Amino acid sequence: MILTILISVTIILLYLKMRRTYKYWKNLNVIYLRPWPLFGYMAPSVLRLKAFPLILQKVYNVFPEQRYFGAFQFGTPVLFIRCPKMIKKILGDDFETFPDRRSIMDADLDPIWAKNLHAMPGGDQWRNKRSTLSLGFGDENLEKTFESMKTCAKNLAYFFLERNSESVELVDATSKFANDVIASAVFGVACDSLQNRRNEFYSMSKHITEFNLLRLFKLFGYSVSPRLMKFFRFKIIEERTSRFYSGIVQDRCSKEDNHLVSFFANNGIGNDNKDHLDEAIAQGIHFFVSGYETVSIGLSFVLYELAINNDIQLKLRKEVDSLMEACKDVSYAHVLHLDYLDMVVSESLRKWPPTVLIDRKSVRSFTIDAEQIWDTTTTFKENTLCLIPIFAIHRDKKYYPNPDEFVPERFSSTNRDNIVPNTYMPFGFGPRNCIGSQFALLEIKTAVLYLVHEFEIVCTPKTKHPVKLSRTGFQLSPAGGLWVGLKARRTPETL
């Protein structure tokens, strides 16, 4: 009886809070999307009625003439930004007003997560840390890690050779490739997850990137009632995850080598001081969470598009074969100068951006002036959360004619300048863009180079066209995977 009363009271209080919250945009006289109870615009995703990227696209298209509009993400008012000029201001020109990403975790409750570059507020401490970590992803360090990427790319090619002409699922295979590159380049740990999928590093990477009901509950809880979640001490980074990475970081920071944790140690991150050690652990976990799925999904869709667009594959192979015939050993510089490869990868990241949505939070009030006859000048409060729907913008026919078609020539040296500024952002842009974007691009390009040289990538009876996106999670993910066939062009000895 008492439990029933408590549950009833909780539901009533939650309803009253939501009712008050859902008047937020109306009170500001901002056009807004009518919310579903409790979930806001997220309801079709939470209820698994529609894939999250497609929900964003549908929401984005509700107000085609608006530069911005309001919505509700669970119980949080959010401001969707549609206008490229406003995107430029939020991500770049007015960075001092929008320096932060959304914080969903209290630093006292989860101090390790709070130390990663993604979660840190954008003040002086973040700026200094970003400056230091950026050096680790500069040309010098990328060139050092390129050998690790080549080894992992060759392992991926061997894996496909063993399954010559069979249907293979790309996301599963490329996730192991991404795991092994990060393990080797960032932590100095050699893995071959394609042959040993039960290795501890791969098991942990699957665990920390898995989107399950518990993580959905945490996201919902922190969006609706952060205090309640803090009271029950729900963490993002679990103890076993912290212990795993702590042991690796402490071990690797004591060694002199070319890996990124060694770079951290040489730059005051991850030394014997506990705060610095926690920092190195936080950055390592962040690189795994960010890089693992970005590369896996990004690479998988490149290979899928090559399978269903054979003319593009043939043109790319001609460029790749010319390089391979001229060079006994492919270098970092060689990959950077493959123009058509860059066009193919760029177009795939336009059509299939692994990050479908980015956010920025204001640290002070700001005003959006009226520009259109139906506009009003509006001042927004501090802590306003702005959302930029990358997937929807990349699919807007106003910016990309025939957006569902795969056209690498959009990114040729001649046509690239015709792209409307601030409408292509697979890694974001501005001071807070993805710090590892060049690392991720190099991974994807290296794998594509070796696979296109060694295989014909073909459709099989399992290849689905068009792709159906998964209704689970809040990122880009194909339902049932991406299936293609890879026919060997040469013998294994040539690798």
* Residues making up the binding site for heme: 434
Tokens 């932590």 appear where? 187
Radius of gyration over every alpha carbon of the chain, rounded to an integer in angstroms: 23
- The rounded distance, in Å, linking the Cα atoms of 397 and 207 is 38
Under 8 Å between Cβ of 265 and 139: no
List beta partners, residue 81: 68
CA dihedral sign of residues 129, 132, 138, 140: negative
C-alpha separations of 474 from 45, 209, 210, 411 in Å = 8, 12, 11, 28
- The rounded distance, in Å, linking the Cα atoms of 29 and 15 is 23
DSSP-assigned letters across all residues of 174-213: HHHHHHHHHHHHHH-----TTT-TTSHHHHHHHHHH---H
The one-letter code for the residue type at 474 is F
Task: Please state the residue numbers annotated as binding site.
Answer: 434
CA dihedral sign of residues 282, 284, 285, 288: positive
Q: Which of 74, 117, 115 is closest to 218 using CA atoms?
A: 74
